Chains A and B, each alone.
Chain A
């Protein structure tokens, strides 16, 4: 199993550009999440999904959009990039119930907006 994969690893955007961060998991997890992590800080939840076709806002959703058309994929869309969106973005997934409620994280995408 590859686990959670994210592309690209790095990206530089100009102010006002748009892009999509890709996230795919092969563990058949129902729940998926997008976080951002600013330097020296904890992770903040942007959006989450409990299954295909179902998404909801997290703590910091402004400036982002998501979709979940399949169990495996959960892309994050940035429209009109701003310098405040410079961050490291992590995608994660978890099984729906039971156990330790562990979230499995992808390797992250480092985004710089200039």
Chain B
């Protein structure tokens, strides 16, 4: 089976940097994805890590350590619009790119 752990809530100041951690236990692992979801909206893709290391996309970066079963999402230069829930998700080995989602971290950005 699979399980993922994320903090349930994080609060950060506008303009600051915040890191959202994710630890996972899985019987089969291909990669770790991150999705953003605003209240009432659909999840939208942010990043994917298949190999160890850092992936950078604009203000967002994602890191993976396969040996530690750990990853994180780093958000820089926080903006009010970054207030949302962030989900890590493990891509498993079914061959259908299936994702197993964590319970999400609610980020609140304050002025």
Chain A interface (Cβ within 8 Å of chain B)? 31, 33, 35, 40-45, 48-50, 56, 58-59, 90, 94, 96, 100-108
Contact = CB atoms under 8 A, between A and B. Distances in A.
Nearest to B4: A42
B106 to A, nearest CB: 8
B104 interface: yes
16 contacts: A42-B104, A43-B99, A45-B98, A45-B99, A50-B95, A56-B94, A56-B96, A90-B43, A94-B97, A100-B47, A101-B91, A102-B48, A103-B45, A103-B99, A106-B42, A107-B42
Interface of B: 4, 30-31, 33, 41-45, 47-48, 87, 89, 91, 94-104
User: Closest 8 interchain pairs by CB?
Assistant: A42-B101, A105-B42, A100-B48, A102-B45, A43-B101, A42-B103, A101-B97, A50-B96
Given A100-B45, A103-B45, 15 more contacts: A31-B96, A31-B97, A40-B103, A42-B101, A42-B102, A43-B99, A45-B98, A45-B100, A50-B96, A90-B42, A100-B33, A101-B30, A105-B43, A106-B42, A107-B42
B37 to A, nearest CB: 9
Nearest to A4: B42
B97 A103 contact: yes
Contacts of A42: 4, 87, 89, 101-104
Contacts of B96: 31, 48-50, 56
Contacts of B48: 100-102
A109 to B, nearest CB: 11
B41 to A, nearest CB: 8
